[in-house]
């Protein structure tokens, strides 16, 4: 009489599949502590390797924040003709305020400009010897948010220079263009360094798992002798690689936040010299979770290549 095999319900098979994965994942985590010193050294190297591109990312994010703040404060200064009457100036101001590209327009009269120059320059007594007021009236224009980049602001300046009564328009955004060039160079440099460091993470995890596989060669041979599938043999090593990446990512997140806290006082002091309220920002929750997920992905990739290459070469003798 033959044996009757009872097929388990699909739901039970599905649940047991994930229970088996969870059991092997926990077992792989426990395997890290069989050799605590070696595991801690590997995790420390992974943490530092992931923390370096993470710190560069924070540096770039804060540089872009500074650039955004300076770009938002860009303005156009229109120097008006000295012989332009107040009625014409008021009409010109009202006409410019209707531009869809402009957020606000402030007017500085000739007398107000002379008064401010007298207070700020320290040449008050020398100005008394002048026959008249040499300063023109000024319109200070803040472009709309979409027109504050150098190209759009330059186009707007050309349009404003064509207005009757405008003697000269000034837009000093050359420094902003240089800043954007520096940030672009910084972004490319950081990307290159990050790629090299992430490649180092792949090599570290792959080499560590190679050593683990060689240390467990006899166990793998026994498993193959009793008919264990390749997936069953590979799975613990894959989870070990994932754990290396996850814990390394958590350590990198912590190291990055420590660096931000360590630098925060110096940055605040520097910002105070420029009368700025700039605050250094760290990774944040989203970037921190992404860092951990990136570590897990790198660990999985490195372990997959290492496992498929080295376990395939192990055959029972």
The pTM for the full model equals 0.67
Contact 141, 76 (CB under 8 A): yes
Query: What's the mean pLDDT in 192-199?
Result: 90
Beta bridge partners of 78: 139, 169
Query: What's the mean pLDDT in 77-96?
Result: 87
For residue 146, give the DSSP letter: G
* Inter-CA distances, 78 with 34, 85, 298, Å: 74, 16, 55
Q: What is the pLDDT of residues 245-281, one digit of tens each?
A: 999 999 999 999 999 999 888 877 877 776 667 778 8
Burial 268-280 (b: 16+ CB within 10 A, else e): eeeeeeeeeeeeb
CA distance linking residue 33 with residue 99, whole number of Å? 68
Instruction: Give the model's pLDDT for residue 121.
Output: 56
- Mind listing the domains of the chain with CATH numbers? 23-70+177-310 (no CATH), 75-172 (3.30.70.3040)
Question: Can you list the positions of beta strands (E) in the chain?
Answer: 76-80, 102-108, 138-143, 166-170
More confident of the two residues 208 and 6:
208
Q: What is the pLDDT of residues 218-244, one digit of tens each?
A: 777 777 777 767 777 778 888 888 999
Sequence-ordered list of residues with C-beta below 8 angstroms from that of 245, at least 6 positions apart, any chain: 46, 201, 205, 294, 295, 296, 297, 298, 299, 300
Query: What's the mean pLDDT in 36-42?
Result: 85
Q: What is the pLDDT of residues 130-152, one digit of tens each?
A: 666 677 888 888 888 777 777 77
Tell me phi and psi for residue 216, to 5 degrees. Answer: -110, 25
Tokens of 90: 């008021």
């Amino acid at each position: 009489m033959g044996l009757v095999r009872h097929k388990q319900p699909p739901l039970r098979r599905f649940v047991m599949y994930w229970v088996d994965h969870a059991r092997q994942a926990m077992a792989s985590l426990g395997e890290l502590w069989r050799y605590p010193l070696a595991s801690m050294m590997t995790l420390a190297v992974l943490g530092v390797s992931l923390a370096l591109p993470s710190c560069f990312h924070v540096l770039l994010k804060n540089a872009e924040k500074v650039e955004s703040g300076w770009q938002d404060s860009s303005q156009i200064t229109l120097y008006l003709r000295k012989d332009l009457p107040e009625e014409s100036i008021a009409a010109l101001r009202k006409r410019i305020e209707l531009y869809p590209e402009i957020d606000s327009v402030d007017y500085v009269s000739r007398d107000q400009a002379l008064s401010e120059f007298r207070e700020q320059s320290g040449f008050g007594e020398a100005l008394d010897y002048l026959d008249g007021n040499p300063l023109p009236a000024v319109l200070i224009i803040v472009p709309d948010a979409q027109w504050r980049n150098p190209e759009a602001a330059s186009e707007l300046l050309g349009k404003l220079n064509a207005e009757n009564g405008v003697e000269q328009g000034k837009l000093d955004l050359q420094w902003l263009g240089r800043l954007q060039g520096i940030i672009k160079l910084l972004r490319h440099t950081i990307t290159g360094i990050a790629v090299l460091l992430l490649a180092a993470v792949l090599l570290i995890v792959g080499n560590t798992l190679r050593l683990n596989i060689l240390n467990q060669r006899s166990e793998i041979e026994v498993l193959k002798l009793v008919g264990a599938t390749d997936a069953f043999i590979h799975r613990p090593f894959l989870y070990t690689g994932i754990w290396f990446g996850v814990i390394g990512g958590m350590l990198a997140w912590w190291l990055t936040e420590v660096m931000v806290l360590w630098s925060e006082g110096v940055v605040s002091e520097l910002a105070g010299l420029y009368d700025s309220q700039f605050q250094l920002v760290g990774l944040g929750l989203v970037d921190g979770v992404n860092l951990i997920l990136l570590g897990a992905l790198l660990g999985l990739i490195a372990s997959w290549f290492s496992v498929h290459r080295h376990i395939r070469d192990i055959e029972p003798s």
